[in-house]
A and B are shown apart, each in its own frame.
Chain A
Amino acid sequence: EDQVTQSPEALRLQEGESSSLNCSYTVSGLRGLFWYRQDPGKGPEFLFTLYSAGEEKEKERLKATLTKKESFLHITAPKPEDSATYLCAVHYNNNDMRFGAGTRLTVKP
C-alpha cells in the first residue's frame, strides 16, 4: 500500500538545539517530494521540492535531503518562530499525491 509516514509525531526542542524530522515513503515512481510548514489554523506554506535521491535544498535554518526511501528536514539552531507543523507530500506515478500526517515542532526559548 502506498504510504507516507512522518516521524516523530511531535518534537519539543530548546532554542538552539538542532534536530531532524523524517518522512519515509513506500510508493513507486516517485516524481517529487514536497515539504510544507503549517501554522495553527492556517494553510500550509510551501518550503521545498526534491526530485531525486541525493538532492538537497536549504532555506535559512532548514535543510531538506532526499534518499530513495525517505527525506529528512534538518533544523539547525532553531528559534521559537520555527514552531509549526511540518508536512511532507509525495507525488508519484502519473498523478497521485499523498501527504504525511505531519510533525508538530515546538521550540522553547
Chain B
Amino acid sequence: DGGITQSPKYLFRKEGQNVTLSCEQNLNHDAMYWYRQDPGQGLRLIYYSQIVNDFQKGDIAEGYSVSREKKESFPLTVTSAQKNPTAFYLCASSTDRNYEQYFGPGTRLTVT
C-alpha cells in the first residue's frame, strides 16, 4: 500500500531539547511538506521541498530545520529556538507543487 508514514504518533520532550519528527513516503512524489496545526487555525507551512537536496522556508520556518537526502524521506527537527513547539505536525507529499497533497497521520508534540 502506498502512503505517508509519520512517527511517532505522540512525542513528549522537555523544554530546551531538540526533537526530530520522521516522515516517509512511498508514493514516488517529488514534493514534500511540513505543516503545523494549532486549534482554530489553518495549517501553516513550515518547510517544503520540491526535489532531493533542496528545500524552501514556508511561513513559519523559524526554530525548525529539515533535510531531504532521499526522495522518500523529509525529517523535521524542532529546535530549542522554537518558542511554542507544542502542536500537531503534519507531513504531506504531492506529485509536484501544483497538485493535491496527501497527508500523513500526524505527530502530536508536547513540550513541557
Same complex for A and B? Answer yes
Q: Is the CB of B42 within 8 A of A98?
A: yes
B99 contacts which chain A residues (CB < 8 A)? 32, 49
Q: Smallest distance from the beta carbon of B89 to chain A beta carbons, Å?
A: 10
User: Given A4-B42, A99-B42, A102-B42, does the pair A46, B102 have CB atoms closer than 8 Å?
Assistant: yes
Q: Which one of B14-22, B67-75, B78-86, B103-111 contacts A?
A: B103-111
Q: Is the CB of B103 within 8 A of A43?
A: yes
**A4, A97, A98: residue with the most chain B Cβ atoms closer than 10 Å:** A97
Q: Is the CB of A91 within 8 A of B98?
A: yes
Q: Is the CB of B103 within 8 A of A45?
A: yes
Q: Answer yes or no: B13 CB below 8 A from chain A CBs.
A: no
Q: Is the CB of B106 within 8 A of A87?
A: no
Write out, one digit per residue, whether chain A residues 17-45 have a CB within 8 A of any chain B CB (1) or not (0). 00000000000000110101000011111
Q: Answer yes or no: B1 CB below 8 A from chain A CBs.
A: no
| Chain A interface residue count, Cβ-Cβ cutoff 8 angstroms | 22
B92 contacts which chain A residues (CB < 8 A)? 43
A99 contacts which chain B residues (CB < 8 A)? 35, 42-44
A105 to B78, CA, bound (A): 32
Q: Answer yes or no: B40 CB below 8 A from chain A CBs.
A: yes
Q: Give the residue of B41, B45, B98 whose beta carbon is less than 8 angstroms from that of A31.
A: B98
User: Given A97-B45, A99-B42, A101-B41, does the pair A41, B101 have CB atoms closer than 8 Å?
Assistant: no
B40 contacts which chain A residues (CB < 8 A)? 101
A100 to B40, CA, bound (A): 10
Q: Smallest distance from the beta carbon of A108 to chain B beta carbons, Å?
A: 23
Q: Smallest distance from the beta carbon of A69 to chain B beta carbons, Å?
A: 18
Residues of B within 8 A of A (CB): 4, 6, 35, 40-45, 90, 92, 97-106, 108
The contact sample of 19 A-B pairs, CB cut-off 8 A, is A31-B98, A32-B100, A34-B100, A34-B101, A36-B103, A42-B106, A43-B4, A43-B6, A43-B90, A43-B104, A44-B90, A44-B103, A46-B101, A49-B99, A89-B101, A95-B97, A97-B45, A100-B42, A101-B42
